[in-house]
Amino acid sequence: MTLLESLVLTHLLADWLLQNEWQAVNKARNWVALLSHVAVYHAILLAVLLYRFGWGDGRVYLVVGLLAVSHAILDRGWTLVWLMRAFRLIVARKPERWLTLAVDQSIHILLLGLAVLYLA
């Protein structure tokens, strides 16, 4: 399995299956919900990367740290709407839920791809 495949599977597990309803509903306005989701997600990501690269590779910790910060910023909600407006995906209206979800997931996968390029 490639590194990208491993990280996408990790993403699906941590962002979809292990994120509970309370975290999903409240993470945009509750720091405990957001940080608990980000902590679980990136603990699993860290485990996968440590398995592949070992404890001694400092790049792993840098990647996990940057991904955790970007994940928290994105999942806060308002930054995602700001990005959607900046890229003209929406202009004045509130974004539809499906579009927000698609953009959010696309950015998460893009960032994982950039992590793979850095680590490869």
- The per-residue pLDDT for range 43-78, each reduced to its tens digit, is 999 999 999 999 999 999 999 999 999 999 999 988
Give the chain's domain count: 1
For residue range 72-113, what is the model confidence (pLDDT) as tens digits? 999 998 888 899 899 898 887 788 889 899 999 999 999 999
The whole domain housing 62 covers 3-119
CA dist 39 and 30 (Å) reads: 14
Q: Cα separation of 113 and 81, whole Å?
A: 22
Cα separations (Å) of 102 from 51, 62, 82, 96, 118? 30, 26, 15, 10, 24
Write out pLDDT tens, residues 1-48: 999 999 999 999 999 999 999 999 999 999 999 999 999 999 999 999
pTM value surpassing 0.85? yes
